[in-house]
Amino acid sequence: MIMNEYGSRDNRYDPYINSHECLVNPNSGFLTKYSHILRADIDTFPTPGIVGFWPDKVLANKYQGYTFRNSSGMSKITEALKEATSYLGSKHNGWHDIGSSWFGPSHKILKLSLMTVALSRYLRVYMFGPGTHCRCASCTALPQDCQWGSGPYAGTVLLYAQEIAMNLVWTQEEFDSMKTGYLDYGTTSNESVCGMLELHVFHNAEPFSKFSFGAGKYKEYDMSGLILSRVRDYAMYLALKSSGQGIGEKIVSQKYSIGKDGSLADVCKQDGDKTKVEYKDDDTKST
């Protein structure tokens, strides 16, 4: 749990850490019985490519980070995270653009999550605790360079902690082997979904957009012509079918022989898409 100086949760920032704390709290011991875990945000979709794919390493997208890419204070953030890691007696490897989704052996994912929870508590004090630049004794509000988009921001401590955890656990060999993103692909392209493991709905206005979805703008969307092996259409189908939005769902479901279990594992085969997830490492098996 993330605590403030009074021993309670800070609801302005701390709820995000629940996405890791739920994996490592005392009630989560059953997760060790699973061989693999996909740790991802709630606005994500696993793809058919993940079926039967069992990597021995932690996979992540080192090209799709969003910790501070759009921040004018990017250099301040990167240096602050390196200094925070050094203060712990460890080395930050300078890997800053790692996505938030992780997939790999359960014991490795759980280790990373446990580290993330602990690092979040540490960073709350080291970067944003009383007496720091972002929380000086005479301040009544956060300084401008500690606001979102301007520099280190308390609301993204979770992402900072995740980054440090990955820098401590990943080896150089593992980092170099991530030549493909695998995870955290956007949902707006017409690319094949079959060569990906997971999609992430970012802050985009183009379809598929979580903002349009949340506003109910897809309630009359005609799904009958969707090609489910395409990224945009796959995301649209999953979201609309699960929420009862859109029209023409029965037509597309019949086209792809989607039964009551809702399985989409064979959509790539039906569309004749030969694209497969490829990971050239002897330790990773794909069946």
Position 165, amino acid: A
The neighbouring-strand residues paired with 59 are: 103
pLDDT at 141: 75
Q: Average pLDDT of each block of 10 consecutive residues along the chain (287 residues)? A: 45 75 92 96 93 93 70 76 95 91 96 95 88 78 81 87 95 90 92 93 95 96 96 96 94 90 86 70 44
Q: How far is CA 280 from CA 98, 174, 180, 267, 277, in A?
A: 20, 12, 10, 24, 10
- pTM assigned to the model: 0.86
Residue with tokens 């092996």: 229
Residues in the chain: 287
Phi-psi region of 55 (alpha: psi -120 to 50; beta: other; left: phi over 0): beta
Structure tokens at 53: 């794919």
The CA distance from 41 to 37, in Å, is: 13
pLDDT at 14: 67
Q: How far is CA 256 from CA 225, 229, 267, in A?
A: 12, 10, 6
pLDDT at 268: 86
CA atoms within 13 A on the CB side of 208: 29
3-state DSSP call for residue 186? coil
pLDDT at 102: 96
Please check whether residue 161 is in contact with residue 116, taking contact to mean a CB–CB distance below 8 angstroms. Answer: yes
Q: How far is CA 212 from CA 43, 190, 223, 230, in A?
A: 13, 18, 16, 19
